[in-house]
Amino acid sequence: MSEVKALIFDVDGTLADTERDGHRVAFNRAFVDAGLDWDWDVALYGKLLVVTGGKERIKYYLRDFNTTFVPPEDLDGFVAGLHAAKTEHYKALMAEGRVPLRPGVERLLREARSAGIPLAIATTTTMDNVISLLENTLGAESIGWFAEIGAGDIVPAKKPAPDIYLWVLERLGLAPEHVVAFEDSGHGVTSAAEAGITRIVVTTNGYTHGQDFSRARMVLDQFGEPGMLPRRADGDSLPGPVDLVLLAAL
């Protein structure tokens, strides 16, 4: 077993349940601002999550779900404008403290920091969104906890493509066998696995429960805390929360 030399975290759905009450609400507010009658309810948004990336998701919605809407000639400009407005709404929602970190996230981050294990982020979401989530949950200084943050359009192809994980691994100067990746979705697992990472821990949520996690090493409902143990898909609890001892034995 190789030594664990860094932990790489996905953001949306993994660090926090941002999709339903963060991104989705922000998209809808941007649509209202633009005078559009589009409403992405909780169920529809679950279907739209098949496509990662907010701009890509809007285009997918127009192509497959709202086929009668006639977009302006400059589709890319139109989508970019909506998406920029959505990012502002997302940041405002985060500033309201609407979305807490998932159980055990802060504990695991702090444990790794104390042990001198570098932290990194590999996400498809916009960098501004990552910063605003971290600032409003762990405080502004927590951005410096991460040795590398790979986010949004920094790579051409978003998850499930491996590009963002490859980018982060290269910046860390580490081979995939030396890291553990944390994900919540099938697309995220594919992205990490295609980058060569085999130690992948999944924490599922309402939107991703039941997806294909066959390439993950461990699938749990949460990282857990000492009094709140993570459960596997079969319902069995782990003996303790996800910590560095467990990760070293993966």
Helices and strands, number each (H, E), in the chain: 10, 6
Q: What are phi and psi of 201, to 5 degrees?
A: -110, 125
Among residues 152 and 188, whose Cβ is nearest to Mg ion?
188
Binding piece for ligand XBP, criterion CB under 6 A, among 5-13, 74-82, 198-206, 241-249: 5-13
Nearer to ligand XBP among residue 117 and residue 130 (C-beta): 130
CB of 55 to ligand XBP, least distance (A): 6
| CB nearer to Mg ion: pick between 31 and 182 | 182
**Rounded to the nearest 10 degrees, what angle do helices 75-95 and 24-33 cross at?**
120
Contact between 123 and ligand XBP by CB under 6 A: the answer reads yes
What is the residue whose two structure tokens read 């589709």?
A: 75
* Binding track, positions 140-159, relative to ligand XBP; x by CB under 6 A: ------------x------x
| Helix spans in 19-137 (H) | 24-33, 42-48, 54-64, 75-95, 105-114, 127-137
Residue 129: name its binding partner from Mg ion, ligand XBP, none (Cβ under 5 to 8 Å by kind). ligand XBP
Q: Which stretch binds Mg ion (CB under 5 A): 40-48, 61-69, 187-195, 209-217?
A: 187-195
**C-alpha span between 183 and 94 (Å, rounded):** 21
By CB under 6 A, tell whether 12 contacts ligand XBP.
yes
| Cα–Cα dist 185/191, whole Å | 10
Spatial distance between the Cα atoms of 213 and 148, rounded to a whole number of angstroms: 25
From the CB of residue 146, how many other CB atoms can be counted at a distance below 10 Å? 19
Beta bridge partners of 231: 237
Query: Nearer to ligand XBP by C-beta: 182 or 229?
Result: 182
Task: Name the binder of 104 from Mg ion, ligand XBP, none, CB < 5-8 A by kind.
Answer: none
Q: How far is the CB of 82 from Mg ion (least distance, A)?
A: 21
Q: Residues with catalytic annotation? A: 10, 12
* Interface residue list for ligand XBP (CB under 6 A): 10-13, 19, 23, 52-54, 123-126, 129, 152, 159, 185, 187-188
